Amino acid sequence: MQTAPFFADVSDGPDGGKAYWLKTADGIRIRAGVWPYTGDANDGQAKGTVFVLPGRTECVEKYGRAAKDLAARGYASLAIDWRGQGIADRLLPDRTVGHVNQFEDYQKDLAAVLNMARDLELPKPWFLIGHSMGGAIGLRALLEGAPFEAASFCAPMWGIGLTPVQKVMVRFLAPVLSVLKLDRSHAPGTSSDTYMMVQDFDGNTLTRDPDMYDYMRKQVAAHPDLGLGGPSTHWVRESIGENIYLDTQESPDVPVLCFLGGDESIVNTAAVRARMDRWPSGILVEIPNAQHEIPMEVPQSRALFFNRSCALFDANL
């Protein structure tokens, strides 16, 4: 574990944030950012630590403001640059392609972060927030016994919303492309551009809060290496395979909240509702007018997300 770059200039997180390089079991270098709790509640001691598992394309710094929200409620937190994004190792010569060899490899990243948390003796108990792709990674982690007392999911990627072209591609073309090793380029309908840098606020599918959208854009503008384009065809196939596997599994016996925006258009909402219908210790919270990134939504939606999530964590201290 070594100190890594941490872009505090665009994070807007609590004081004392740091980042670390971590090596995974298969030799990939990833990055984790840690925000200690520095408040005065509980005699200055954190209630616990929240592991934020980001979505595809996201980076540590994007969760600086979320770390502030968690600190205001008494929690230390951390976030992860998964392999293939942020300034973690990119897996292809074209660094704009979001790629993973096997979806299960993300569990190796999480294992390295858990080891870091033990080495740093981050305050326990530990909790999980899983957003989008991080929701799929987090669900498998819970199924495999990861040491989280409770979890909060936000628009979890338990099913992918594909365009008709992408559905045809995955079903008929992807196996051929894989044999020819041509499935490492951008999936049809995607490009090398980082979404926020080419999409105006009007018409975006992430948030209705212009300030939060500007916050995300400024991070990539200031540090272009944080940007990421569309996924590889292989990533899409791997993600679909992971969704199929997860759908065959019973829900773990962990207290859970799951948040879904009324205007969600990126993940498969039917898959999310189906999972929550069969999670006895889980509650689905639907937020009208919210889009994909509820932790970066308008203030009232953000407050609802962090208030309810931290109330769940408080109940499982």
At 189 the pLDDT is 83
Question: What is the C-alpha to C-alpha distance for residues 101 and 84, in angstroms, rounded to an integer?
Answer: 10
What domains are defined for the chain? 2-314 (3.40.50.1820)
Average pLDDT over residues 120-132: 97
At 306 the pLDDT is 98
Average pLDDT over residues 48-57: 98
Residue 168: band (very low, low, confident or very high) from pLDDT cuts 50, 70, 90: low
At 44 the pLDDT is 72
Bigger pLDDT: 108 vs 180: 108
171 pLDDT above the threshold of 70 = no
Q: In whole numbers, what is the pLDDT of the chain averaged over residues?
A: 93
Q: Taking the model in full, what pTM does it have?
A: 0.94
pLDDT tens-digit readout, 257-306: 999 999 999 999 999 999 999 999 999 999 999 999 999 999 999 999 99
pLDDT above 90 covers a percentage of the chain that reads 84
Residue 176: band (very low, low, confident or very high) from pLDDT cuts 50, 70, 90: low
